[in-house]
């Protein structure tokens, strides 16, 4: 899907994004500002945000394809998994800053919610391990969660960074790589992906999503307008392909 030269370019773009994220997080921990993103996004907030591409409420989506009592797993990328708590499902949140209280952490352990956050040395004001979707280490930890919990994949994946979307590379191939990564994490039996889309050529993304609809995938895209970001819904079913068709970019 990606030739060697393109793969090298994508990794370079991801490295740049990771470096930029590190700088912002370091400023935040040092008390110089720099916090960003949507914090503690409730289910209602997520539902309203993706309303333009959702045909059904998120909970209804999940209940339609899961047997009563069957465990549901969710993944919240660049977020704190607040809506997973509202849904009362197990899952994983990946956020650069995990500032949950001790009580919330204990509650999350009981609920089966894990948060991957940045490890920071407050005395040295130094990041020990950065938690960001742009790093290979973080992506490997997400895959390990799937393996450790012996699940085929996540039933729900959300990515709603808001302000942090500016850190996602505008390069089309890199943005597609990240969407493909999320697609690969979905439960192959049924999975719902809701993601914000960076400000790349909306015509290109729209034609790509229309093409996906002919490939056993339910895809809906709403392009960005003024201050409203682009949003994308992808639904995976047993007949869906393992890999998404590439976004065609002509140079």
Residue 19 lies in a domain: no
Residue 13 lies in a domain: no
Angle between helices 172-185 and 136-148 (to 10 degrees): 10
Residue 160 lies in a domain: yes
Question: How many whole angstroms separate alpha carbon 126 and alpha carbon 129?
Answer: 9
pLDDT at residue 39 in the model: 56
With b for 16 or more beta-carbon neighbours within 10 A and e for fewer, the 77-107 pattern comes to: bbbbbbbbbbbebbbbbbbbbbebeeeeeee
Question: How many whole angstroms separate alpha carbon 244 and alpha carbon 240?
Answer: 9
pLDDT at residue 2 in the model: 65
pLDDT at residue 68 in the model: 83
Q: Are 47 and 54 in contact (CB under 8 A)?
A: yes
pLDDT at residue 40 in the model: 65
Residue 183 lies in a domain: yes
pLDDT at residue 149 in the model: 96
pLDDT at residue 28 in the model: 64
Token pair 């007949």: residue: 239
Residue 32 lies in a domain: no
pLDDT at residue 178 in the model: 92
pLDDT at residue 32 in the model: 45
To which H or E segment does residue 195 belong?
strand 191-197
Residue 175 lies in a domain: yes
Query: What string of pLDDT tens digits covers the 251 residues of the chain?
Result: 567 788 888 888 888 888 888 877 777 655 444 444 445 678 999 999 999 999 899 999 999 888 888 999 999 998 889 999 999 999 999 988 787 889 989 999 999 999 998 887 777 777 888 888 888 999 999 999 999 999 999 999 999 887 667 778 788 888 899 999 999 999 999 999 999 988 888 888 999 999 998 778 999 999 877 667 789 999 999 999 999 998 865 44
Q: What is the total count of domains within the chain?
A: 1
Residue 173 lies in a domain: yes
Alpha helices in the chain (DSSP H): 4-29, 43-49, 58-64, 82-87, 102-111, 136-148, 172-185, 202-212
> For the whole model, what pTM was predicted?
0.89
Domain that holds residue 182: 37-117+131-236
* 168 Cβ neighbours under 8 A, 6+ residues apart: 17, 161, 175, 178, 198
Residue 31 lies in a domain: no
Q: Tokens in use for 192?
A: 């719902």
**CATH at residue 57:** 3.40.50
Q: Are 74 and 111 in contact (CB under 8 A)?
A: no
């Amino acid at each position: 899907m990606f030739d060697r030269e393109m793969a090298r370019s994508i990794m370079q773009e991801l490295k740049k994004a990771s470096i930029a994220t590190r700088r912002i997080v370091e400023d935040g921990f040092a008390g110089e500002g720099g916090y960003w993103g949507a914090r503690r996004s409730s289910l209602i907030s997520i539902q309203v945000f993706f309303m333009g591409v959702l045909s059904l409420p998120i909970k209804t989506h999940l209940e339609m394809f899961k047997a009563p009592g069957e465990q549901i797993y969710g993944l919240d990328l660049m977020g704190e998994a607040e809506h997973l708590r509202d849904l009362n499902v197990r899952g994983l949140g990946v956020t650069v800053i995990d500032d949950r209280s001790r009580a919330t952490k204990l509650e999350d352990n009981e609920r089966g919610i894990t948060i991957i956050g940045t490890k920071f040395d407050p005395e040295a004001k130094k990041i020990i391990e950065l938690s960001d979707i742009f790093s290979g280490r973080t992506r490997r930890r997400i895959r390990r969660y799937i393996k450790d919990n012996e699940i085929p994949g996540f039933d729900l994946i959300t990515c709603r960074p808001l302000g942090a979307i500016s850190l996602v590379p505008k390069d089309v191939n890199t943005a597609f790589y990240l969407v493909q990564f999320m697609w690969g994490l979905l439960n192959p039996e049924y999975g719902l992906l809701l993601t914000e889309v960076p400000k790349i050529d909306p015509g290109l993304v729209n034609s790509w999503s229309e093409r996906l609809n002919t490939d056993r995938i339910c895809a809906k895209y709403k392009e960005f307008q003024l201050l409203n970001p682009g949003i994308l819904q992808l639904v995976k079913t047993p007949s869906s392909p393992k890999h998404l068709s590439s976004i065609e970019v002509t140079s």
